[in-house]
């Protein structure tokens, strides 16, 4: 096997790859003086480390880059916050995924508390940050149960790029899937991830969302995954997720 290490690498990149935090979060840890390299506090954001040689600690605990980052997908039920902990003790997605076996696991983006469906998790903070970056346009597909039955003219407004209070949306792929007892089901593929975006888009055309489910995140979909269950991504899925953001294989360390 070829040695895919990038040596030396920026400390914030090392921390993100080790799953400590996103790259920006890692920079905050550094500037807060919480990161030591070989026993010395490092706050300089340009600092580099050799993952095989240097001893990196955050708050006094050694951190390492695992051989392979973990990627998994959860079918999130309604009633869970997309966060790893909540000061008010509300149910969090962290209780549904194997955080003990995979420290540093965190969700890629978020679903509202009442939204169900696919939520990706990874220990690779770098990849997560890049997947969420607007320039990468990772597409997400949703099925919304809405009040009333939207006309094709109303759906065309979403296809053209509806204007919301924080600016115009990119054109969405939208189709009426059928009528339902309480309204209609609409399928939407969007290429951004703004807060409450799908609900706001459908509000804007006069058809508020009653229920929202995400059935695809980029190349990942799994209609057979039971609600509340997770599974690791296959090697093929990891490859397609990583190629979405044009990332090479992760750095490797013999000190996993």
The Cα 244–Cα 106 span in angstroms is: 19
The DSSP-derived string for 100-145 is TTSTT-EESS---TT-EEEEEEES-HHHHHHHHSGGG---EEEEEE
Closest CA to 70 of 32, 146, 129, 125: 125
The strand pairing partners of 120, in sequence order, are 73
In the list 115, 122, 123, 253, the residue contacting ligand URA (rule: CB under 6 A) is 115
Residue 189 near ligand URA by CB under 6 A: no
Nearer to ligand URA, 196 or 255 (CB): 196
Residue 116 near ligand URA by CB under 6 A: no
Mark residue 112 as left, alpha or beta (left: phi above 0; alpha: psi -120 to 50; beta: remaining). beta
The DSSP output letter for 240 is H
Q: What angle do CA 185, 117, 19 make, to 5 degrees?
A: 150
Stretch in the footprint of ligand URA (CB under 6 A) among 14-22, 49-57, 163-171, 191-199? 191-199
Nearer to ligand URA, 23 or 213 (CB): 213
Nearer to ligand URA, 33 or 134 (CB): 134
Residue 197 near ligand URA by CB under 6 A: yes
Residue 112 annotated among the catalytic residues of the structure: yes
Residue 112 near ligand URA by CB under 6 A: yes
- Spatial neighbors of 208 by CB under 8 A, at least 6 apart, are 146, 147, 199, 202
Q: Are strands 209-217 and 116-122 parallel, antiparallel or unpaired?
A: parallel
Nearer to ligand URA, 197 or 253 (CB): 197
In the list 102, 141, 199, 213, the residue contacting ligand URA (rule: CB under 6 A) is 199
Catalytic residue among 50, 86, 100, 112: 112
Residue 198 near ligand URA by CB under 6 A: yes
Stretch in the footprint of ligand URA (CB under 6 A) among 4-12, 107-115, 130-138, 219-227? 107-115
Smallest separation (angstroms) from ligand URA to the CB of 91? 16
The catalytic site residues sit at 112
Residues of this chain that interact with ligand URA (CB under 6 A) are: 111-112, 115, 196-199, 212
């Amino acid at each position: 096997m070829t040695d895919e290490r990038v040596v030396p690498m920026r400390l914030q990149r090392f921390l993100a790859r080790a799953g400590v935090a996103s790259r920006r979060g890692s920079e905050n840890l550094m500037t807060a003086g919480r990161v030591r390299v070989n026993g010395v506090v490092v706050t300089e954001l340009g600092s580099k480390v050799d993952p095989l040689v240097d001893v990196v600690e955050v708050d006094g605990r050694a951190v390492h880059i695992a051989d392979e980052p973990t990627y998994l997908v959860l079918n999130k039920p309604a009633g869970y916050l997309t966060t790893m902990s909540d000061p008010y003790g509300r149910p969090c997605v962290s209780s549904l995924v194997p955080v003990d076996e995979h420290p540093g696991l965190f969700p890629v983006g978020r679903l509202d508390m009442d939204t169900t469906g696919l939520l990706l998790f990874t220990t690779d903070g770098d990849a997560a940050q890049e997947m969420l970056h607007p320039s990468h346009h990772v597409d997400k597909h949703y099925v919304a149960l809405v009040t009333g039955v939207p006309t094709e003219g109303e759906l065309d407004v979403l296809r053209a790029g509806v204007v919301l209070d924080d600016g115009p949306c990119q054109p969405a792929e939208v189709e009426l899937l059928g009528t339902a007892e309480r309204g209609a089901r609409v399928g939407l593929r969007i290429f951004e991830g703004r807060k409450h975006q799908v609900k706001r888009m459908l509000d804007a055309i006069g058809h508020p969302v009653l229920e929202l489910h995400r059935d695809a995140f980029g190349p990942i979909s799994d209609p057979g995954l039971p609600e509340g269950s997770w599974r690791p991504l296959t090697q093929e899925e990891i490859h397609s997720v990583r190629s979405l953001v044009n990332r090479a294989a992760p750095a490797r360390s013999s000190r996993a």
